[in-house]
Structures are given as C-alpha cells and as structure tokens.
Amino acid sequence: MRVLFVTPYYPPAHLGGIERAIMRLASALHTVAPETETSVITTSFAFPPRFLPGLPASSNEDGSAVYRLRAVPPASLPLFPYYSCPVTVFHPANVRSILSHTQPDIIHMVGDGWAAVHLLLLALRARHTAVVFTPSFHSMTRDRQWLRLPNRLICAAAERTTVLTRLEAAGVAAAYHVPPDRMRLAPWGMEVNTATSPAPGGTDGILRILCVGRVGAHKGQRWLVQTYAQAHRHFQRRTRLVLVGKDEGEAHQAVADAATLGVADDVELVGEVSDADLVQQYARASIFALFSHFEAFGLVYFEAMAHGVPVVTHRVGANAELLTRGAIVVAPFDREAATTALVRLVNDTDARHRLGQEARQLVQQQFTWERCALTFLQVYREATDERRRTTATGL
C-alpha cells in the first residue's frame, strides 16, 4: 500500500505535534506492514508561515519521501494572519507531477486549514485513490467560520474522516456534517520509554516540572508561572519549572512574571529544541504541567506519560476524556486546585512515582504507535474498498 500524507509543514522546516505524529505513524506503518510505502506533500514554510529558501524540492526524511510544493509567490499573503497555514498558490502541475510519481493508494490529509490544496488533490486524484481526512479540529470561533464550507466538501468527498477523541467526533460531525458510517476514532500513539520512573530530583537533586508548548497566550505558560510561584513556597525540596517551546510573543512576559514573583532563579526558558533534545527533556522531568486554553488531543501529555512522568493539567478540550490515569485534572484555570496538585506531587515522592507508573501503563495499553498504525491500516482498507465500490458503480 502506498500512503501519501498531506500537511503544510514538515521537518526540517518545522517539527510540531502534527509533524511528529505523521513521522511516528509512518515509521509504525513500516513496522507492522513492511510493504507500506509512505511519502509526504508539504511546503517550504516554517510555522508561523515563513518561507525558507534553499530547501530541496524532494528529500527523504526518516523513511518517507518528502515533496515540497513550489509557492507562487514564495511568501504567505497576509489574508488570514490568525490562521496557521500558508496563504499562497501552489501550481496544479506541481501537484499532478507528485501524484504521478507517488501513485498513492491513499491520500491522508492531516490538519483542516490547508483547504485549497486538499480540494486540489481531490480533483486530481486517480480513480483508484482513496482519501482519509484527519482534521485538527477546534471550536468554530468567528475566525474559523470560513473552514465550514471547504471542509464540508472535503468530508463529503473523503472515503473516511478520522478523529482523535469522542469530543472531537461530536464537533466534526456538527461542523462538517460527516455521516457516522464514514467517521472513525483513531487516536495518535506514543513511543513508550520502558526505563524506570524519573529519579527523585534527577541527578543534580533538582525536581523538574516540565511544560512543552509554544510560549504564547494559547498554551498558558504565564498562568503556569504564576501558579508555580504560588506553590513554590510550599515545596519541601528544590524545583525548577522548565518551559520548552518556540516563543510566540510571551516568553519575555513569562520571564518578567517569574522575576516579579521571586522565582526567576527557578524558571528556565529553553526555547525550541530538536526531537532528540525533547526526548532528553522528558527523561529528566519528574512532573509535566500544561494549562493551555484548549487541547484536541494533547500529544505532549502522552509523550511525557510514556516516560513515566505524571501530568498536572485542567479540564479543557479532551483532557478529561483521555487522561483517565496518571494525571491530576483540575477544574479549568482553578489556581488553588492546581497549586495543591503541584505541591502534592513535589512533596510526596511515593504519590508521584505511583502516578507516573499509572501514566506509562495507560500509554502502553491504549496509545502505542503500533496500535495506532493497525487502526489506520484498517481505516485505509475500508477507504480503498469504498473507493473501489464507488468507481465501479460510476458514482
């Protein structure tokens, strides 16, 4: 089976949650079904949309052939500055050439904002090629209303639409009118670290509370710094709050908050890191904390849990649905409850390790990449079977 993934950003230009998910899923597909060939259509843009000259038109990234569409003009037009995908034109001949070269059995579109390219691929696909659509769905706020029409068209044409959670399924069905028989639940997976739980305080005696996410208003790092400062005076051991992620305008404010609240020496901003360095950050962490305004799936929670790191967060998005073990999930933006949870996990080593073991067990039982790959293989087979029936009847 030949699978062509579609996403606007991809390494080395950018390494976010969707990009990591595609890379891991492709690798797992190669493991569970070695005959599978994977490729990726993407751009030469980094996120936020910024053109990177010099990237090759094609390359190989971790076993997948990567094809970068040529943009006209080579810059993202400022039409939708609030949205995450590059607003520019990609020539149909370039898309047709890639489809001719890869000859996919499945086109798997990941993310719901690159609608123009998705619709173009639907128009240019071969008769035998099925489409699976995995939207990155968020609440339909005013600035996202324009997504309704193109994504309804995509969902109507795609043989299968997959969602990460039951909460997302309800939102996608309501916004994009996906029939129940064409929707499938397919959560992402994780690589499970089978080593023992993080040592108390690590090798230098400092217990690290890790937060991973773009440092901006959406991910709530300033709220976390303020909560950490409130909990800090109750800690019975030395701690450090480590913020990992690209600055999206609030890093300097988070630093200023830490200084004002008297915890500047115990708050570390690492910035954006490589995939390998991120693994090391998880390995050194003893607690993971993130209080974003919304999480459709929260890949970083499970990456931490796969390392045996317990999670502290709050009940937004799908957190309560997914984080059923190995996590303390408090009411949304309840600072007193979040403070209590952090103090408990810092001061009670046994509780922290017990919750960390539960976290790893949850990932091992429900969220491995092998399980994810097997789920998607079944979805791909259903989609190709339905495409074959449709083309046979001439519909």
CATH fold for the domain made of 2-189+369-393? Rossmann fold (3.40.50)
Annotate 131-175 with DSSP letters as a single string. EEEE-------GGGGGGHHHHHHHHHHSSEEEESSHHHHHHHHHH
Tokens of 72: 């006209």
Q: What is the DSSP letter of 395?
A: -
CA distances from residue 229 to 95, 272, 364 in whole angstroms, order as listed: 51, 23, 34
Question: So what's the pLDDT on residue 78?
Answer: 67
Tokens of 387: 């495409």
Question: So what's the pLDDT on residue 271?
Answer: 93
Question: So what's the pLDDT on residue 20?
Answer: 86
Q: For 54-206, list the strands marked E by DSSP.
A: 58-61, 64-68, 71-72, 89-90, 106-110, 130-134, 160-163, 183-185
Can you give the residue ranges of every domain in the chain? 2-189+369-393, 207-366
Bridge partners for 2 per DSSP? 37
* Residue pair 318/296 in contact by the 8 Å Cβ criterion: yes
Bridge partners for 313 per DSSP? 329
CATH number of 207-366: 3.40.50.2000
Q: What is the DSSP letter of 22?
A: H
Q: pTM for the complete prediction?
A: 0.80
Question: So what's the pLDDT on residue 80?
Answer: 55
Tokens of 190: 């994780």
What's the full length of the chain, in residues? 395
Q: What is the DSSP letter of 81?
A: T
* Residue pair 136/147 in contact by the 8 Å Cβ criterion: no
* Residue pair 221/237 in contact by the 8 Å Cβ criterion: no
Taking 70 as the pLDDT cut, the residues of the chain under it are: 78-83, 193-203, 394-395
3-state secondary structure at position 134: strand
For 204-231, the pLDDT digits (tens) are: 789 999 999 999 999 999 999 999 999 9
* Residue pair 347/235 in contact by the 8 Å Cβ criterion: yes
